[in-house]
């Protein structure tokens, strides 16, 4: 059961359904939150806000002021996937804006096999810790002439030490193995600063074994021996790329959850995109969103709620109640209803 500390307070959770399959994922997974709240006596206010590509037409921005106020008045946000415009002069992604605005500096992206889901390799249990606020996501990307464009990859000691500390703390709670991923042979200044800051943050390593890999080598090690990694810490763009790869190794981006964690606020979201071609068909895989909800309860300190959700997902999959991408025949809503019912039992 949840401790009285958590039962005594009221959690304010903002929901941003987003674009494409996002609204159907948030709508169908909300009953799972309700089932968990009821079973564990958690009091939670859910408020829906508008953000993403769909907001641009109506509000002229993907993150309207009203939504920013909603987020500021909440404890955390559960976000569906959003469509990000491409091309020069287009708006910065809403997810990236929220990560920066609330200093959600740690992108936490676990990849773990789920029994019954076809994977590239068994025995995988790793977490990618992605620096979420700078690197190639600095926003400093511009045309210097008709034929030349430049993007600046910003690495600071402060942000690198901060993510290093976070990753080390996480590794201490797990198998005590931390891998620093960089490209120091090419990005000589920025990635030596990144690596040096992480090692400094790790101090005497406190019983955690630390190794390192270049990002290109890591891309192949993740296929060859993913089971040998525990916590992987890396900068923003490398983490973005490797987390899609790691999700695919344990079954696909449809099952990859994530948390974006800062000092006093957090955002939970599936790793996958808005998948416009599946919109409205009722076939979107809800597992990534549901597991992101489990991560939300764990962040709140209500571990039992997180494990009830994980058990519900495992039960559905082992009973064959799963969406088509996982080899089943269930609809999004069918799978979510089954899981909510399991949790209520
Ligand atoms: C992710 C996504 C986002 C990112 C996009 C949608 C802005 O790919 O969360 O991994 O690049 O961070
Ligand atoms: Mg990505």
Q: What is the pLDDT of residues 88-144, one digit of tens each?
A: 889 999 999 999 999 999 999 999 999 999 999 999 999 999 999 999 999 999 999
For domain 1-104+257-345, give the CATH number: 3.40.718.10
What confidence tens digit (pLDDT) does each residue in 12-38 have? 999 999 999 999 999 999 999 999 999
Residue ranges per structural domain of the chain? 1-104+257-345, 120-249
Length of the chain: 345
Question: Matching CATH topology for 1-104+257-345 and 120-249?
Answer: yes
Rounded to the nearest angstrom, the distance between the alpha carbon of 272 and the centre of ligand 2 is: 7
Looking at every residue in the chain, the average pLDDT score rounds to 95
Q: Kindly report the pTM of this predicted structure.
A: 0.96
Minimum-distance ligand 1 atom for the alpha carbon of 107: 9
Task: Say if ligand 1 is within 6 A of residue 271 CB.
Answer: yes
pLDDT given at position 88: 87
| Sheet of 257-261, strand order | 43-48, 10-16, 76-79, 266-270, 257-261, 106-112, 125-131, 231-234, 177-182, 209-214
Q: So what CATH class is 120-249? A: alpha beta
pLDDT given at position 2: 45
pLDDT given at position 1: 45
pLDDT at residue 296 greater than cutoff 60 = yes
pLDDT at residue 204 greater than cutoff 90 = no
Task: Say if ligand 1 is within 6 A of residue 95 CB.
Answer: yes
Task: State how far the Cα of 85 lies from the Cα of 282, in Å rounded to an integer.
Answer: 25
Identify the nearest ligand to the CA of 93 by its number.
Answer: 1
Q: Please compute the mean of the pLDDT values over residues 303-318 and round it to a whole number.
A: 97
Rounded to the nearest angstrom, the distance between the alpha carbon of 238 and the centre of ligand 2 is: 10
pLDDT at residue 244 greater than cutoff 90 = yes
Q: Please compute the mean of the pLDDT values over residues 314-333 and round it to a whole number.
A: 96
């Amino acid at each position: 059961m949840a401790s009285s500390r958590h039962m005594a307070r009221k959690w304010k959770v903002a929901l941003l359904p987003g674009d494409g399959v996002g609204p159907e994922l948030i709508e169908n997974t909300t009953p799972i939150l309700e089932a968990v709240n009821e079973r564990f006596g958690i009091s939670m206010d859910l408020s829906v806000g508008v953000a993403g590509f769909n907001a641009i037409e109506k509000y002229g921005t993907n993150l309207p002021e009203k939504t920013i106020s909603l987020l500021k008045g909440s404890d955390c946000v559960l976000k569906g996937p959003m469509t990000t415009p491409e091309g020069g002069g287009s708006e910065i992604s809403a997810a990236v804006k929220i990560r920066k605005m609330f200093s959600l500096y740690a992108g936490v992206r676990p990849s773990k096999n789920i029994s019954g889901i076809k994977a590239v390799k068994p025995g995988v249990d790793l977490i990618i810790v992605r620096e979420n606020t700078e690197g190639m996501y600095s926003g400093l990307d511009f045309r210097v002439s008709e034929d030349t464009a430049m993007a600046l990859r910003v690495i600071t000691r402060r942000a690198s030490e901060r993510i290093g500390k976070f990753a080390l703390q996480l590794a201490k709670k797990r198998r005590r193995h931390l891998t620093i991923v960089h490209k120091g042979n090419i990005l000589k200044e920025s990635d030596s600063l990144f690596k040096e800051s992480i090692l400094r943050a790790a101090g005497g390593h406190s019983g955690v074994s630390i190794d390192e890999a270049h990002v290109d080598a890591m891309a192949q090690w993740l296929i060859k021996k993913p089971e040998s990694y525990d916590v992987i810490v890396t900068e923003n763009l490398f983490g973005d790329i490797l987390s899609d790869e790691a999700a695919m190794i344990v079954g696909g981006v449809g099952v990859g959850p994530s948390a974006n964690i800062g000092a006093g606020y957090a955002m939970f979201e599936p790793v996958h995109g808005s998948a416009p071609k599946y919109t409205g068909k009722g076939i979107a895989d809800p597992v990534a969103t549901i597991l992101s909800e489990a991560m939300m309860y764990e962040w709140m300190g209500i571990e039992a709620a997180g494990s009830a959700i994980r058990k519900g997902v495992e039960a559905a999959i082992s009973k064959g109640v799963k969406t088509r991408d996982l080899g089943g025949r269930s609809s999004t809503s069918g799978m979510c209803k089954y899981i909510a019912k399991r949790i209520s039992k």
